[in-house]
Amino acid sequence: MWGLDLYICNYHAVRHTSLYSSLKLLEPAAPLHFPRPITNMANPAAALPKFDDLPEKRRFWPAPAGSEDEGLGMLRLLTKEVVADAARTQIQTGERVCLNWDIENLSPPGFGRKPFEHRIKWVAEGHAFDDEYHFNPQQSSQWDGLRHHNAPYPTPENPERRVFYGGTTAEEIKDTDSPRIGIGHWAKKGIAGRGVLIDYVSYAEKKGISVNALTRQTISLDEVLEIARECNITFQHGDIFFLRVGLPGTWAAMSAAERKAYSEQSMPQHAGIEQSERVLRFMWDNHFAAVASDAVSFEVFPARSPEHDLHHHLLAGWGVPIGEMFDLEELAATCKRLGRWSFFISSSPLNCKRGVSSPPNCMAIF
């Protein structure tokens, strides 16, 4: 949920840290390629290098510019073999849980976004109604597409250069004839595979830790790994990683005045996973196809370690979709009841070829 104002704030925050001055000036480079051909389509992630072997840890752009593979980003790991295996192993009881939060939340929206509008109108007086919707996907559950967030990639000629995944420029994104890295690439086959839930809220309750999703409360990688051990979760390549931080509970407890005050902040605070090289290594070496949370920003914000900003690395660097403000309440309750924290995920992003983000239209099936 990072609007234009937030981009500007984050940009200036980065520029005035030692990080910006220490960034290596990058010459424009050709796309980075897989180190060996993908022959095992049941596990294409096996062809990827380890984090420590990445030629450049801030960027992995293996596909030709403007190609379908580039548009998919890490969703290319969700081959038919990977999806079939997830369906075969995860769909056991047929129970279903939808992960879409109320489309009118957060309300009021921040960053000057237009509020949600829904009108019901006669299309044929006395006979039939139509809907008219106006909404910003960033106001509620959404996938951040590859067009959503860029990262600093300075060059000697342009020290303030910023580009999106694959080296895509803002000019290309604004070009009405260019669908490069648009979310329409995801819509062709959707997002389907094995999901795993790290339920930090339940963990915090057991530990006597209070949770407020609209603070800079940080979930450490050590806590994530401890929860995974307690729940017997073994991560698999191509998993869709979910982290429950507790925004629905925080939001429900707020008054209308508190919600309004939150929406008017120029630099709000959001709970989320820590930023660190350890987290980046964890994310890369597990080769997640996508990550998602019920938090506003997935990672803690403002960043405690701008050098390891996950939006820079996951979205702009590696092409990993980031889901935010998913409703994980019933999902967590179902996982507890069934004693399992993995499930089949089906998500159908909007079929908009130039789209920046999309409601997830997401379902977990057990």
Q: What is the pLDDT of residue 43?
A: 67
Among 157-166, 209-218, 261-270, the least confident range? 261-270
Residues 290-345 pLDDT 10s? 999 999 999 999 999 999 999 999 999 999 999 999 999 999 999 999 999 999 99
Domain ranges for the chain, please list them: 4-113+124-365
HEC per residue, the chain: CCCHHHHHHHHHHHHCCHHHHHCCCCCCCCCCCCCCCCCCCCCHHHHCCCHHHCCCCCCCCCCCCCCHHHHHHHHHHCCHHHHHHHHHHHCCCCCEEECCCCCCCCCCCCCCCCCCEEEEEEEECCCEEEEEEECCHHHCCEEECCCCCCEECCCCCCCCCEECHHHCCHHHHHCCCCCCCCCHHHHCCCEEEEEEEEEHHHHHHHHCCCCCCCCCCEECHHHHHHHHHHCCCCCCCCCEEEEECCHHHHHHCCCHHHHHHHHCCCCCCECEECCCHHHHHHHHHCCCCEEEECCCCCECECCCCHHHCHHHHHHHHHCCCEEECCCCHHHHHHHHHHCCCEEEEEECCCCCCCCCEECCCEEEEC
% of the chain residues with pLDDT over 70: 88
Q: What is the pLDDT of residue 140?
A: 83
- Is pLDDT at 135 greater than 90 in this prediction? no
Residues 152-198 pLDDT 10s? 999 899 999 999 999 999 999 999 999 999 999 999 999 999 999 99
Q: What is the pLDDT of residue 239?
A: 98
Q: What is the pLDDT of residue 17?
A: 36
Among 209-218, 251-260, 355-364, the least confident range? 251-260
Give the pLDDT band (50/70/90) at residue 102: confident
CATH code assigned to 4-113+124-365:
3.50.30.50
Give the pLDDT band (50/70/90) at residue 110: low
pTM of the model: 0.87
Q: What is the pLDDT of residue 266?
A: 83
- Which comes out higher in pLDDT, residue 96 or 46? 96
When pLDDT is averaged across residues 16-25 and rounded to a whole number, the result is 36
- Which comes out higher in pLDDT, residue 277 or 117? 277
Q: What is the pLDDT of residue 118?
A: 87
Q: What is the pLDDT of residue 137?
A: 74
- Is pLDDT at 33 greater than 50 in this prediction? no
